[in-house]
Amino acid sequence: MESRIGEIAALATALCWTITALSFESAGRRVGSLTVNITRLVPATFLFALYGIAFRGIAIPIDVPADAWRWLLLSGLVGFVLGDLFLFQAFIDIGARISMLIYASVPPMTTILGLIFLDEPLTLLGSVGTLLTVGGITLVVLRPAGPHRPDGVPGVAAVPPEPLPIGSGDPAAVEHHTGAACEAVAPAPAGDDGRAPRYRARGIIFAFMGALGQAAGLILGRIGAGRTLDAFAATQIRVIAALIGFSIVLTATRRWRRVAAAFSDTRALGWIGLGAVFGPFLGVSLGLFAAQNTSAGVASTLMALVPVLIIIPSVLLFEERVTPREVIGAVIAVGGASLLFW
């Protein structure tokens, strides 16, 4: 029987990101998204150092070849930083529902990039499974807005966006926050439909750029890590790049004071710590391990199941209602995902 360790790791990644999304939602409500973005990397850095000492004998992966370092640093900047910033601005310009509809193109984008840059085969069954999964996820994400979910995303109220990582950081968290409190830019001037046309066009472009950043981040990480490099060591390098990138953003926007203030909120720090364990440390590392052991497109598709997996905890923890559309979307997505194991 053919090993499916990559696909299993991708599903485990989605489960980790589900926990991350719920944790960072709670933290983001208290201290804001940009603060969570940088703060989550601090405990993750210590976790990676402890892992390195325990399993590799070194706190920082200085034994990794310089060429791999370059690819992985680029992956961290593209995925963790640039992709997330583009998506945050898209939330503001066109709203979370449209942004997440566009963001659902990440698995097909990753599949195409994997075909071009990694020579990964594109099978008919895999293509059908990917399309069904993306279609089911889209039905779930596009639930009409309700009193508790103005962006139409399952399990989320109006709270700041948090990345995804996702290939990138935690894409799960991006999918569960609106752009209303994204802290990046003031809301776009309203037009006839509440959005100025030039901001709509820019928002659509930025949403695609965010999706491309997510897909490219995973591909670049896969190129840097190859098939054999320890996924945790590789992810540690990506996190180092993210720390540098977000430090530049915080310095440019003069928001270090907000980050410092977050350390006095012990409850927020608790949620950030939990999210860091299941996000940058376990989730992103397992995601890269999945891409090392199956095609990047399949891994990306399975990791994108978070909006489906989040439904049950959203009902239990936030007392959200589940609509028939969400149930149908979940069934379609799970059916499509099952095809990827054949």
pLDDT of residue 103: 86
Query: What confidence tens digit (pLDDT) does each residue in 80-123 have?
Result: 899 988 988 888 888 777 888 888 899 999 999 999 999 998 88
Give the residue from 188, 212, 197 showing the smallest Cα distance to 87: 212
pTM for this one?
Answer: 0.83
Other Cβ atoms closer than 10 A to 339: 19
Q: Which two tokens stand for residue 136?
A: 């089911």
Q: pLDDT value at position 159?
A: 37
**How high is the pLDDT of residue 335?**
92
Q: Is 129 within 8 Å of 340 (Cβ atoms)?
A: yes
- Determine the Cα–Cα distance for residues 287 and 173; give it in Å rounded to an integer: 15
Per-residue pLDDT of 133-167, as tens digits, reads 999 998 888 755 544 433 333 333 333 343 333 33
Q: Where are the domains of the chain?
A: 5-339
> How does 41-66 read in b/e, with b if 16+ C-beta sit within 10 Å?
bbbbbebbeebbeeeeeeebbeebee
In percent, how much of the chain has pLDDT > 90?
Answer: 50
**In angstroms, rounded to a whole number, what is the distance separating the alpha carbons of residues 147 and 332?**
26
Among 87, 122, 118, 91, smallest CA distance to 108 is for: 122
Query: What local confidence, expressed as pLDDT, does residue 2 receive?
Result: 60
Q: Distance between CA 119 and CA 252 in Å, rounded?
A: 39
For the chain, list residues with pLDDT below 50: 1, 146-169, 172, 175-193
What DSSP string describes 54-82? HHTS-SS-TTS-HHHHHHHHHHHIIIIII
Lookup: tokens for 46: 């210590």
